[in-house]
Structure 1
Amino acid sequence: MHKRILLIQGHPDAAQGHLCHALAAAYRAGAAKAGHEVRQTQVAVLDFPILRSQEEWEYGPLPPGLQQAQDDIRWAQHMVFFFPLWLGDMPALLKGFLEQVARPGFAFPGDRMHPLVKKGLSGRSARVVVTMGMPALLYRWYFRAHSVKSLKRNILGFVGVAPVRDTLIGMVGEPERQAVDKWVGALEAMGRSAA
């Protein structure tokens, strides 16, 4: 069955030379070969301010530069997030993007009395692809992958996205060509199966 897939590139550097960009391109190529529809959002090129108050988040207007991103999230059946681990978490730009787009009335009802009754993004699945300089097993087992768990539970799960799977890719500082080819191949296969 063909799916509508949204790739959300969360690397804050818009230059295309990063591993996150190569992984997203591989996923996109695999998905296209399998006949899936694919759209992509590049957070680094979007123009939006950081939210500074609860009132602004609840009642302020969505920045015009993010309307297409919200439309694409609404359209998608499956989302794939790509980002490097920075200071143990997602880059601040990606977090700011998620705060802006996941507003009351879109990601969940704006009803203060029953905020969890209906989750606005139910029926969608996701994958989180994270690159990091440390070994992925160290991050997963010693650091317990807290930031990825928080994204999966406190952001995506909170608005109804499930299941959410993750792919952690470690030791990316100066990877060997063979390792990069392996990761790219794995992401292309995931794209084919819309996993």
Structure 2
Amino acid sequence: MPNRILIVDGHPDPDDSRLCHALSEAYRRGAEAAGREVRQIAVARLDFPLLRTAKDVEAEDLPPEIAAAQADILWADHLVIVYPLWLGTLPALLKGFLEQTLRDGFAFDVEKGLRGAKLQGRSARVVVTMGMPALAYRLFYRAHSLKSLERNILKFCGFSPIRTTLFGGATTPAESTAKDWMAEMERLGRAGG
């Protein structure tokens, strides 16, 4: 059971009224109530450049906020990523953060391929909000971008198990629905899963 949890709030808008921020906070409250240590990263509040060239990818001097994020990932035994589904996938700022943070040499050893995962022993939960019904995303779209995040990024780096929570109809949820979602996130935080 994880005792050190890192929550990555991947909504690119720093406005505190965003649902993803509230879901992240609810998870934190639940985890802390259960005695777990929690750290949070709000991607919208970070200042880092996007990777554009091979030289950027190979740079050894990381932006300070990325180096701090890597330290938090190494500290954690459970990673929670919360984000809204935009154009069928995660927002560009969150993808840029993952590209900066989960680099070759830190998260994996590219020369070792599938055996090169360096973040083994850590579990993850991915929480996605979306305007469409979650069932439509799973069945019609086959959760393609979520599967890519799970398989091609998190599992490749060694995270396992990876669990998912989808909140559909999140554009304008009823107050009772939003309340139920907060309760679910607190429950997940208490369970550490």
Structure-1-length-normalised TM-score: 0.95
| Contact 1:2–1:35, Cα closer than 8 Å, also in 2 | no
Q: How far off its partner does 1:60 sit?
A: 4.6
Aligned to 1:116, the other structure's residue is in SS state helix
Residue in 1 aligned with 2:164?
166
Residue in 1 aligned with 2:122?
124
Change (3 A) 1:2 1:93: closer
1:98-117 correspondence to structure 2 within 5 Å: 98-109=98-109, 113-117=111-115
| Separation in structure 2 between the aligned mates of residue 148 and residue 87 of structure 1, nearest angstrom | 12
| Separation in structure 2 between the aligned mates of residue 117 and residue 28 of structure 1, nearest angstrom | 33
Match of 1:175 among 149, 173, 178: 173
Q: How far off its partner does 1:172 sit?
A: 1.1
The alignment status of 1:67 with 2:67, answered yes or no, reads yes
Partner amino acid, structure 1, of 2:176 = Q
Q: How far off its partner does 1:79 sit?
A: 0.5
Partner amino acid, structure 2, of 1:131 = T
The alignment status of 1:151 with 2:143, answered yes or no, reads no
Aligned to 2:15, the other structure's residue is in SS state coil
Change (3 A) 1:2 1:96: closer
Which moves more between the two structures, 53-62 or 80-89?
53-62
> Unpaired segments of 5 or more residues in structure 1?
none
Structure-2-length-normalised TM-score: 0.96
| Contact 2:27–2:188, Cα closer than 8 Å, also in 1 | yes
Residue in 2 aligned with 1:27?
27
Partner amino acid, structure 2, of 1:182 = D
The alignment status of 1:185 with 2:180, answered yes or no, reads no
Partner amino acid, structure 2, of 1:83 = Y
Residue in 2 aligned with 1:47?
47
| Contact 1:2–1:37, Cα closer than 8 Å, also in 2 | no
Aligned length: 193
Which moves more between the two structures, 181-190 or 58-67?
58-67
| Offset from partner CA, 1:13-40 (integer Å, 9 cap, x none) | 0111111111111110000110000000
| Separation in structure 2 between the aligned mates of residue 84 and residue 78 of structure 1, nearest angstrom | 20
Residue in 1 aligned with 2:56?
56
> Unpaired segments of 5 or more residues in structure 2?
none
Residue in 2 aligned with 1:38?
38
For the aligned residues, what is the CA RMSD?
1.2
Q: How far off its partner does 1:157 sit?
A: 0.6
Partner amino acid, structure 2, of 1:54 = A
| Contact 2:2–2:78, Cα closer than 8 Å, also in 1 | no
- % same residue: 55
| Separation in structure 2 between the aligned mates of residue 148 and residue 54 of structure 1, nearest angstrom | 26
Could you list the structure 1 runs, at least 4 aligned residues long, displaced by more than 3 angstroms after superposition.
none
